[in-house]
Chains A and B, each alone.
Chain A
Amino acid sequence: MNEHAIARRNDDADRSAIIFVLLLLQAAIGALETLVELALAGAAPIGAAVGLFSAILTVSLIVVAAGVVRGWRWARIAATVFEGLVLTGAGLRLLLRHGTSNGLVWLLTDVALPIAVIDLLWIRFGAARSAWERPVAEQKAGTRVAAPRPIGGSRPAPMV
C-alpha cells in the first residue's frame, strides 16, 4: 500500500471516528429520553408506542454509527436521513415555539450536531477524497478532475 493510500485510509478512519462519537452522543441522549418516557408514559398504549419507537431508533443509531466506521454506504445514507429529520424537527419546533426560548444546549444537540454530521459525512469526505486522489501535478496546476468514489459507495462523492 503506497503512502497516499495509507494516508487516505487514515483520513477516512479519522473522520469516521468523529462521526461515530457524534452519532453515539445522539444515541445516548435518545436512550436517556426513552428510559424517562417509558417511566412516565409507558403504561399508556400511545406512550408505550412512542417509547418503543424511540428505543428502536436509538439502537438503530448505534448500528448506523458502527456502519459508518466500517465504511458502509447505507449507514452514511441512513445517518444523513436521520440528521435531515432532526433538522426538519428543529425547524418545526422553531415555528411551534415561536416567541419562546430554546436554549444553547438544544442548539448544540438539535442543530449544530446534525449539521456537523452531514458536513463530515458528505462534504468533508468528498473534499478529502478529492485532495488525496488528485495527482500532485494537477493540484499545482489547479485542474479539476472527476470526483472520486466514496469508500463503500457506488456513486461519486460531491465535489466541493
Chain B
Amino acid sequence: MDGSNSGLLWHVAPEHVPALVVPLVLPLAIWLFLKLARHVAAGSNGLTRRFMDGYDASSSTTRVAAVLMLLTATIHLALVPTHAQDDPQLAKLFAINGALFIAAAIAVFTWRWWRPFAAALLVLTILAYVSYIAKGREDADQIGLATKLIEVLALGLVLAPATTTAAAWVRTLRWTAAGAAVVLMTVLTGGAVWAAQYKQAKDASAMGAMPGMSMPRINTAAGAPAAQQDDPGGMPGGSMHHDEPGMIMQPVPDTPLTPAQVAAANQLAADTAADIAKYQDLSVAIADGYRATTNPKAATVHYLNPKYMHDGKILDPQAPEALVYANTRSGPLLLGAMYVMPKPGEYGPDPGGSITQWHMHDNVCFSAGGMVVGVLSPFGTCPAGSFNAPTAYMMHVWTAGNPNGAFGELNNAWVARLVAQ
C-alpha cells in the first residue's frame, strides 16, 4: 500500500488523491444544476419539468440518498484517469459505476421504481469492492473505505421508509431491511478489509523465512549461536520487519551495514539470550514482576515489567522491559525479550544499524488497566470500553531460534509449530 503517513492523507494511495479533491466541487455543481434545471423546467413539460416536480415533492431522506449517490459517482469517476493506465478494466468499471450512480441519482426524482434500482446498484458495488479486496486486487485505503461508508448510508436511506402514509407492515419491513442491510454491509466490508490487511501481514511474515531473501539475519538459535549475515550489502538501511497494519518503523541510517554494527547486534542478541535464560520458567518472571499485557491464552503472550519501564536503563539485557512467551502444549516457552523505550515518541538507540531497528504500534486498543484488548478496526475505532494510544518504540530480540533471525519478524508458521509441540 503506497500511502502518505501524515495528516489526513494517511493511507490514501496517491492514485486515489483525485477522489479526495473532486467531490469538493460537488455542492457547487448540484446548486448550479438545480438552478439551471429550474430555469429550463419553467418553460417545458419534458423530463426536466418532471425532475423538478419530483425534486420539489421529495423528502429530505431521498434528497440525501441522491446526494450520497452523486458523491460516490464523483469519487468513482475521479479515479478513472489515474487507473486508466495501470488497470484499464478497473477504470472501465469505475466509469460505468459512476455513470450508473448519476443515473440512479436522477431516477430518484423521475422514476417510480428508483429504490430497487438504487439498492441493487449499491449492494453490487459494495460486494464488488469486497470481492476485489478479498482477492487482493485492490488495497484498502481511506478513500475506498470512506466511499463504502457513503454507499452503506445511501443504501440504508434508500431502503428506509420516508413517509408515514405507507401501511404499517410495509414500514416495519422497510425498517428491518434498512437496518439489516446497513449492519450486514458494514460488517462485511470491514471484516473483508481487516482480513485482507492481516493476510498481507501474515504472508509477509512467512516470506521472511524464504531462502535467498535479501534480509540481514542474525541467528541465535540454540545450538547455532554464531552470528551470520546472509547479505551484508543487500539491503542498506533496510528494515528487518514487514509493514504490518499500524506498525511504524523507527528510521535507520540509509547506509550499508558496517562490521561493527553487525558485531554489536550479535553481542546484543547473545547477551539477551544469556541474561533472560533465567526466565525460561514463566513463574520466575512473574515473581520478578512481569505481568501479561496481551491475552494470556493466545499463542504468544507479552509480559511487561513496570519496574523496568522507568529504571533509566535502555537496552539492558539483564532487565528487559518485556518478555515474550509462546503457549505450547508443554507449557510457556520463552521466545525472547522486548526492549521498550520509556515514553511514546522517543527513538531507541540502534547499535546494530538497520538490524536493530525499533518500531511502534499506533493501532493498539488498550483497556483502562493498560492491557492490549484489540486493534483499531478498519474504520479507525476501538471497541467500546477501550482506547487507542500509540505505544512507545520497542524492539524484539528473539532467543528461541526464530527462522527470520533474532531481530526479524516473528515467523507465525514457526510459532504455530512450537505451540503444537
Contact = CB atoms under 8 A, between A and B. Distances in A.
A3 to B, nearest CB: 13
Given A32-B190, A37-B373, A41-B373, A54 B383 contact: yes
A105 B373 CA distance: 21
B146 A37 contact: no
Contacts of B149: 25, 105, 108-109
B372 interface: yes
Interface residues of A, number: 60
Interface stretch (A7-15, A72-80, A131-139): A7-15
Interface stretch (A92-100, A142-150, A152-160): A92-100
A79 to B, nearest CB: 15
A93 B297 CA distance: 29
Nearest to B179: A24
A18 B191 CA distance: 24
Contacts of A43: 295-298
A130 interface: no
A105 B146 CA distance: 6
Nearest to A58: B384
Nearest to B159: A21
A101 B163 contact: no
B162 A13 contact: yes
Interface in B366-421: 367, 369, 371-375, 377-390
Contacts of A44: 292, 295-297, 371, 373
A131 B313 CA distance: 67
A65 B179 contact: yes
Interface string B281-305: 0000000000010111110000000
A87 interface: no
B256 to A, nearest CB: 31
Given A25-B182, A102-B380, A97 B7 contact: no
A93 B377 contact: no
B389 A33 contact: no
Contacts of B163: 10, 13-14
B300 to A, nearest CB: 12
B394 to A, nearest CB: 16
A100 B190 contact: no
Nearest to B378: A105
Interface string A43-55: 1101101110110
A20 B380 contact: no
A61 B139 CA distance: 31
Given A20-B175, A25-B156, A13 B377 contact: no
A158 B214 CA distance: 66
A67 interface: no
A93 B390 contact: no
A81 interface: no
B377 A24 contact: no
B8 A28 contact: no
B349 interface: no
A56 to B, nearest CB: 9
Interface in A88-143: 89, 92-93, 96-97, 99-110
A13 B161 contact: yes
30 contacts: A13-B163, A17-B157, A18-B157, A22-B153, A24-B156, A25-B152, A25-B156, A28-B186, A37-B365, A37-B373, A37-B374, A37-B386, A40-B298, A41-B298, A41-B371, A44-B296, A44-B297, A51-B383, A54-B383, A54-B386, A69-B175, A96-B390, A97-B389, A100-B362, A101-B10, A104-B8, A104-B12, A104-B20, A106-B379, A109-B381
Interface of A: 6, 9-11, 13-15, 17-18, 20-22, 24-25, 27-37, 40-44, 46-47, 49-51, 53-54, 57-58, 62, 65-66, 69, 89, 92-93, 96-97, 99-110
Interface of B: 5-8, 10-12, 20, 59-61, 64, 142-143, 145-146, 149, 152-153, 156-157, 160-165, 175, 178-179, 182-187, 190-191, 194, 292, 294-298, 345, 362, 365, 367, 369, 371-375, 377-390
Given A33-B382, A47-B374, 9 more contacts: A10-B163, A29-B190, A33-B381, A37-B374, A46-B367, A69-B175, A96-B388, A105-B142, A110-B380
Query: Which 5 pairs from chain A and chain B are nearest by CB?
Result: A106-B380, A21-B156, A28-B186, A101-B10, A43-B297
